[in-house]
Homo-oligomer: A and B are copies of this chain.
Amino acid sequence: MSTAPHEDVLPDEELRTLLAHWRAANYLSAGQIYLLANPLLTEPLRPEHIKPRLLGHWGTSPGLNLVYTHMNRVIRKRDLDALVIWGPGHGGPSVVANSWLEGSYSETYPDVSLDAEGMERLFRQFSFPGGVPSHVAPETPGSIHEGGELGYSLAHAYGAAFDNPGLLVACVIGDGEAETGPLAASWHSDKFLDPVHDGAVLPILHLNGYKIANPTVLSRLPEHELDAMLRGFGHDPVHVTGDDPEQVHRDMAAALDQVLDRIAVIQRTAREEGVTERPRWPMIVLRTPKGWTGPAEVDGVPVEGTWRAHQVPLAGVRDNPGHLAMLEQWLRSYRPEELFGADGAPVAEVLACVPAGAKRLGSSPHANGGLLTRQLPVPPLEDFAVPVERPGAGTHEPTRVLGAMLEQVMKNTAARRDFRLVGPDETDSNRLSAVFGATGKAWQAETLPGDVNLDRHGRVMEILSEHLCQGWLEGYTLTGRHGLFSCYEAFVHIVDSMVNQHIKWLKTSRALSWRAPVPSLNYLLTSHVWRQDHNGFSHQDPGFVDHVLNKSPEVVRVYLPPDANTLLSVADHALRSKDYVNVVVAGKQPCFDWLSMDEARVHCARGAGIWDWAGNEQGREPDVVLGCAGDVPTQEVLAAAKLLRQHLPDLAFRVVNVVDMTRLLPKEEHPHGLSEAEYHGLFTSDKPVVFAYHGYPWLIHRLAYRRRGHAHLHVRGYKEAGTTTTPFDMVVQNDLDRYRLVMDVIDRVPGLAVRAAAVRQTMADARARHHLHIRATGVDLPEVAEWTWND
């Protein structure tokens, strides 16, 4: 363990300015929680100056204010480009206060001016209808991280640092947050941080000791145990501990100087001297009281330094004159009259530590990453498209085809370094391994002879943690760079809650004119439900699409390309897009090529379309429409189509393939929604529709329930029937197979039940034959395993 040196690196003069800035930030933090009026306490505090609902959190603020103040100092002193991730929950008042002090806030929101009137607005808007949230949020200048759900700060910090060699990313980790799984996993991100091409991450573990109602685990470990853990994570911890403001400020300044010197050495030796040993990155353990400088005791119980300081230390201020007096005393303890001029603007001493312009934390372009985004150089798709002479003549593994395209994206960004591919140990398994022709897997831990594709400077990121993949990529894209997350479909649910938060972030950001659009967060979900026959039931879940489609329609996009060329087209669109969450579900197993590249582009642009060559209506009115979405359902629908042609040649049927799931929504509900006329142009308004869908069948109803003709819609999909079996048995078990689809057509088309009874029996027999065969042999019947559209 290193300890901050006790000699004073800080001249008294400078210390005084830092204390002034800190007091100002503390004052402004408390003011936001409490005050509606009288912001400068120019008159005695009265109940009507107090907000009617006290909705805020004081506990974490003084510690964050300390960090902000000292980050200001080092940014200014060292001319750093820095970004801070504010992890603790409810840190809003603090970060807002500091960005107001430095001027960033008023530049972003001119009506919240840097004067008394602006200060009153600043106070009033906090946790107030029409105002700003109590967390650090998209509304907060300088932030890429919502301090709401907790767990993701350190992953975001690393994501921001990757490929930003000039950037220092400090990350304040609350000791509550540190108990979460994602944060616990994030400590190992240092094995993936390249000191040459990446920036530095400086974790600041803030132990204020308490969560909402409990002590925190890490704050109640013996220091040697905590240190052992942090050293085990690869860090060299420097401690700053105390409750005496002057001493803590002195120690914090010394600690920051020490760790930044060390980081400078690490980067210099790696970059200039070619040192390749994994560095032991420094970090800070900051131990200060929760609710520091707030009321020590309220109504006879201790508050400062306990969990009771978490939220509003004085709750009865409007009704309880004693509380009101304590609040006034508390606020006046910061001596606002020394900190702000008569006009309400901070005085020079307060601002002495504040850096200028884009160096200010609230004005960093990295925290408004769209400002830095360059269009991703996606290569021409023709270079990777598979030839399709006629539909179904050949097969390809769609993700492998995509892999070749991604290799070129990696090559095109070799110098720019603004594209990363992340995934939990599955790039190979998901058949994207072509990318290794352009770059390797980021890896700073030990290597052994025989290792392949590990690369100190690689831009493929693999760790067996979907949380880290997601968190890294969020940090990377929110700072303006591009990426793709390839994941087993079932296990992407691990990050359901993270993607919720990211979508909420994007939704809110889009409404803020000052936030520039950032690259979309792109998912490739593969190794999907229908081809997890070998991994079994635990690996079968197509519900992420349902989860995402509950979210804001302006942000979410869901694509199910049915073959290789459509996957290329969809990926091209996703990679070029901004401010979306794009979910692409595509298989890695050999799949028939249905559309040429040109056809694929047109089909994907439309999002849904009639496949003339697959149906047989040819000018007749169709008796039935076969809908399909997803690669396996599309194949089963085409196989059903072939059976219908063979067994029921008089039946007029249409095949409609849907790539963009949101096309099924009414246009009033989603920007991609089809108009009622367009929908009926595809599906008719009165004919039976037998729809084979990749996921849970009721999703299609949830999308299409408002459509006239919805009563005629019959959907097949995954219904939690699955185990270790054969690929075709998976579709049989879920009634999505070709035979069942033909039976569905017979059951749904008026008048067909009797006429086609024998055909129906033939289909039922085929299903029974299949069952006996796989139980005997373990493999599918040749009639399905070797089926082709063309013969």
A389-421 CB contacts (< 8 Å) to partner B:
none
Contact A779 B52 (CB under 8 A): yes
A77 CB within 8 Å of chain B: no
Q: Mark A757-779, 1 if CB is under 8 A from B, else 0.
A: 00000000000000000110111
Residues of B contacting A446 in the complex (Cβ-Cβ under 8 angstroms):
220-222
Interface-side segment among A349-357, A376-384, A489-497, A609-617: A489-497
**A127 cross-chain contacts in B, Cβ below 8 A:** 534, 724
Q: Confirm or deny: A177 has a beta carbon within 8 angstroms of a beta carbon on chain B.
A: yes
Contacting pair A429 B213 (CB below 8 A):
yes
Nearest B-chain residue to A508, judged by Cβ: B537
With a CB–CB cut-off of 8 A, which chain B residues contact A500?
490, 493, 541, 543
Instruction: Give the contacts of A259-294 with B (CB-CB under 8 A).
Output: none
- Among the listed B36, B187, B441, B778, which residue makes an inter-chain contact with A214, where contact means beta carbons less than 8 Å apart? B441
Instruction: Give the Cβ gap from A423 to chain B, nearest Cβ, in Å.
Output: 10
By a CB distance below 8 angstroms, the chain B residues around A132 are 724
Q: Which of A531-585 contact B (CB under 8 A)?
A: 534-539, 541, 543, 546-547, 550-552
Known contacts A137-B538, A148-B536: A180-B220 contact under CB 8 Å: no
Closest-CB distance, A748 to chain B (whole angstroms): 14
- Given known A179-B463, A724-B133, contact A148–B497 (CB-CB < 8 A): no
Tell me whether B425 and A137 are in contact (CB under 8 A): no
Q: CA–CA, A250 to B317, complex, Å?
A: 70
- Choose, from A228-236, A593-601, A636-644, A672-680, the stretch at the interface: A228-236
Q: Mark A434-461, 1 if CB is under 8 A from B, else 0.
A: 0000000101011110110010000000
Q: Which residue of B lies closest to A698 (CB)?
A: B702
The residue that A181 contacts in the complex, of B36, B181, B217, B698, with Cβ under 8 A, is B181
Complex CA–CA separation, A710 to B701 (angstroms)? 12
Q: Is A729 engaged at the interface, CB distance under 8 Å to the other chain? A: yes
Knowing A220-B445, A428-B212, A724-B127, say if A778 contacts B51 (CB, 8 Å): yes
Which residues of A from 473 to 513 have beta carbons under 8 Å from B? Answer: 490-491, 493-494, 496-497, 500-501, 504, 507-508
In the complex, the chain B residue whose C-beta lies closest to that of A463 is: B179
Provide the bound-state CA to CA distance between A90 and B580, in Å: 36
Expressed in whole angstroms, the Cα–Cα distance for A225 and B231 within the complex equals: 7
A129 at the interface (CB under 8 A from B): yes
A537-B213 contact in complex given A184-B181, A232-B227, A468-B181, C-beta closer than 8 Å? no
Q: Hey, which chain B residues are within 8 Å of A538, CB to CB?
A: 133, 135, 137, 146, 148-149, 501, 504
Whether A229 contacts B220 by the Cβ 8 Å rule is no
Residues A215 and B445 in contact in the complex (CB < 8 Å), given A128-B778, A176-B464: yes
A165-209 CB contacts (< 8 Å) to partner B? 176-177, 179-188, 191
Instruction: Indicate which residue in B185, B443, B537 contacts A184 across the interface (CB closer than 8 Å).
Output: B185
Chain B residues contacting A687 (CB-CB under 8 Å) are none
Asked whether B425 lies within 8 Å of A176 as measured between CB atoms, the reply is yes
Asked if B148 and A539 sit within 8 Å, CB to CB, the answer is yes
Most B CB within 10 A of own CB, among A55, A229, A494: A494
Q: A427 on the interface (CB 8 Å rule)?
A: yes
With a cutoff of 8 Å between Cβ atoms, the chain B residues found around residue A137 in the complex are: 536-538
Asked if A98 is at the interface (CB within 8 A of a chain B CB), the reply is no
Known A228-B232, A491-B149, A720-B552; judge A134-B534 contact (CB<8 A).
yes
CA distance A701 to B541 in the complex (A): 22
On whether the beta carbons of A543 and B547 are closer than 8 Å, the reply is yes
Provide the bound-state CA to CA distance between A261 and B657, in Å.
Answer: 65
- Closest Cβ neighbor of A175 among chain B residues: B464
Asked if A330 is an interface residue, CB under 8 A from chain B, the answer is no
Which residues on the B side are within 8 Å of A724 (C-beta)? 55, 127-129, 131-134
Question: CB of A426 within 8 A of chain B?
Answer: yes
When distances are taken between beta carbons in the complex, the residues of chain B under 8 Å from A427 are 213
Residues of chain B lying within 8 A (CB to CB) of residue A694: none
Q: Which residues of B contact A723 (CB under 8 A)?
A: 133
Contact with B along A90-121 (1 / 0, CB 8 A): 00000000000000000000000000000000
Report yes or no: B425 in contact with A465, Cβ–Cβ below 8 A.
no
Nearest CB in chain B to that of A428: its residue: B213
Please indicate the chain B residues that have their CB under 8 angstroms from the CB of A522 in the complex: none
Q: Specify which of B181, B221, B454, B534 is in contact with A180 (CB 8 Å cutoff).
A: B181
Using CB atoms, name the residue of chain B closest to A234: B225
Q: Which residues of B contact A55 (CB under 8 A)?
A: 534, 724
The answer to whether A232 and B230 have CB atoms under 8 Å apart is yes
The answer for the CA separation of A332 and B723 in the assembled complex, in Å, is 32
Whether A211 sits at the interface, judged by CB under 8 Å, is yes
A340 at the interface (CB under 8 A from B): no
Partner of A464, one of B180, B493, B534: B180
A306 within 8 A of partner (CB):
yes
Q: What B residues does A742 contact at CB under 8 A?
A: none
User: Which residues of B lie under 8 Å from residue A737 when comparing CB positions?
Assistant: none
User: Complex Cα distance A114/B451, Å?
Assistant: 42
**Chain B residues within an 8 Å CB radius of A547:** 496, 543, 546-547
Alpha-carbon distance between A412 and B221 when the two chains are bound, in angstroms:
34
Rounded to whole Å, the gap between the CB of A538 and the closest CB of chain B is: 3
Residues of B within 8 A of A212 (CB): 425-426, 428-429
Top 4 A-B pairs ranked by shortest CB distance?
A229-B232, A148-B538, A181-B181, A184-B184
What are 15 A-B contacts with C-beta separation under 8 Å? A130-B774, A135-B538, A149-B494, A179-B188, A181-B186, A184-B187, A188-B217, A213-B427, A215-B445, A221-B445, A306-B450, A496-B547, A507-B720, A543-B547, A699-B702
Given contacts A149-B490, A184-B185, A547-B547, 15 further A-B contacts (CB under 8 A): A51-B778, A55-B534, A128-B778, A129-B774, A130-B774, A133-B535, A134-B724, A148-B536, A149-B538, A179-B465, A215-B443, A496-B496, A546-B547, A550-B696, A552-B720
